[in-house]
Amino acid sequence: MYDFPEARAATDAWWTALARRFEREGIDEVPRSLLRRDDLIEQWSDPALLISQTCGYLLCNQLRTALQPVATPHYTAPGCSGPNYASVIVVRDTHPAGELKDLRGGVAVYSRSYSHAGYNAFRGIIAPLAGGKPFFSKVIGSGSHLDSIGLIATGVGDIATVCCVIHAFVSRWRPEALAGTRVLGYTPLALAPPYVAPIGATPIRMAQLRAGLSAAMADPELASVRDAIFLGGLSVFDSIDYDRTAAVERTAIAMNYPELK
């Protein structure tokens, strides 16, 4: 989920460490390197998948019959708390808004409609203000959190919600990209994007994956690697726990606000 280019060496080091520990747990033919595909939906739907990471909103909707959660990482980025994360509410720095209601009639930017951080959480915070009517004058799909930041920074949009982990990567590695933006606040907390395995993975395989993840997360020699990608711990949740993410959508629909508008 967070394969940020400037931190790719740390991401690859994390995978190397995980692969070694998965092998120690008895998993055969562990890939030596990460598979990076453009079509993530296809990758997540592949029954031959060993392990990946996906959005919690996708897990409890489109991928409900394809994936099961292995474990939920704890991120150390601003806006995170234990296994929970939030979206940063990013606005154009010249916009006078002091709170969300002041953005009525503005231009909204979202990453993708299947993203919790970039869309579902955004819809969730606007629904109580919209009264079932269009709140924005225009809504633009950017394609990614990074592009959402870019559209706000250049004044094309007025407001976006951006995953706080991605925002932290940008703050650390590309602070100049945040010029022209400011943080208005954060969306409510939700369970962070989980590590996932195919729905058909056996209890033995799930135990092996969890043991490998736990060993790597506890290894003091990997502290710098974890710090580089904002990893700070691990919890185990069931699919039903992620229903809280889907509940954000249901609440918005009940308010007659089924889509960001």
pLDDT (tens digit, 9 = 90+) per residue, 108-138?
999 999 999 999 999 999 999 999 999 999 9
- Taking CA atoms, 94 is separated from 56, 153, 159, 179, in Å, by 33, 10, 11, 11
d(CA 149, CA 193): 20
- The secondary structure of residue 187, as a DSSP letter, is P
Q: Tell me, what's the pLDDT at 37?
A: 79
The runs of H, that is alpha helices, within the chain are 8-24, 40-44, 56-59, 121-130, 145-153, 164-173, 203-218, 223-228, 243-254
Q: Tell me, what's the pLDDT at 151?
A: 98
Query: How many other β-carbons are positioned within 10 Å of the β-carbon of residue 145?
Result: 27
Global pTM value:
0.95
> Which helix (H) or strand (E) segment is 115 a member of?
none
Q: What value does the mean pLDDT take over residues 8-13? A: 97
Q: Give the bridge partners for 182, in sequence order.
A: 91
d(CA 64, CA 27): 25
> How does pLDDT run across 176-222, given as a tens digit for each residue?
999 999 999 999 999 999 999 999 999 999 999 999 999 999 999 99
Q: What average pLDDT does the structure give for the chain?
A: 96
Q: CB neighbours of 175 closer than 8 A, spacing ≥ 6? A: none
Fold entry, domain 84-190: D-Maltodextrin-Binding Protein; domain 2 (3.40.190)
Write the CATH number of the domain with boundaries 5-79+191-246.
Answer: 3.40.190.10
d(CA 162, CA 54): 16
Task: Give the confidence band of 24 by pLDDT, cuts at 50, 70, 90.
Answer: very high
d(CA 121, CA 118): 7
d(CA 169, CA 6): 9
Q: CB neighbours of 32 closer than 8 A, spacing ≥ 6? A: 19
Q: Tell me, what's the pLDDT at 84?
A: 98
Residue 179 near residue 170, CB atoms below 8 Å: no
* Residue extent(s) of CATH 3.40.190.10 domains in the chain: 5-79+191-246, 84-190
Residue 121 near residue 86, CB atoms below 8 Å: yes
Q: Tell me, what's the pLDDT at 217?
A: 97
